[in-house]
Amino acid sequence: MNELISKIRFEIEEINEIFKIYSKLIEKVDSSSPNEIELAAFATVIHSFYNGVENTLLSISKAYEKVDLDNKNWHKNLLRQMVIETDDRIPVISEGLKAVLSEFLAFRHFFRHSYSFRLEWEELEPLAKKLNEAKNMFKKERLDFISYLIEKK
């Protein structure tokens, strides 16, 4: 369990670092439409945030139930799996957080399979505006899960 707790804390810190490094960009979300470079930067930040989320959930899944990475839908299955309580653990994320993260997952797929010049602010803006809320929800639920792991020892 100590290794899992360390992995979760590491990913929380990595996500925090993203927000620290790109704080000036993130603060601009409400001020104006970004230019092409800022739009690509926003997309990268959103993608990096979700990668950190997925790395965390994958570490938890590997410790408990072993998600099937050969299944082409493993990303969606991972989110579904994390809201379910099992014999070995409490739910890892709430239904509310799953709904928010599902939007980021959909963007992750688009980002990985598209070109940056295809990005449109009208589509990216809702996620950019949810970024801080999603980060805070995820961090809180991860810290709650860490508390559960510590109590379970």
Reported in sequence order, the residue ranges of 46-133 that DSSP labels E, i.e. its strands, are: none
The rounded distance, in Å, linking the Cα atoms of 120 and 141 is: 31
Q: At 139, is the pLDDT very low, low, confident or very high (cuts 50, 70, 90)?
A: very high
Q: At 18, is the pLDDT very low, low, confident or very high (cuts 50, 70, 90)?
A: very high
Instruction: Please tell me the predicted confidence (pLDDT) of residue 75.
Output: 93
Average pLDDT of the chain, as a whole number: 93
Structure tokens at 31: 């001020």
Instruction: Please tell me the predicted confidence (pLDDT) of residue 68.
Output: 81
Mean pLDDT score, 25-53:
91
Report the CATH number that the domain containing residue 13 is assigned in CATH.
1.20.120
Distance of CA 142 to the CA centre of its chain: 11
- Domain count across the chain: 1
Domain that holds residue 139: 2-152
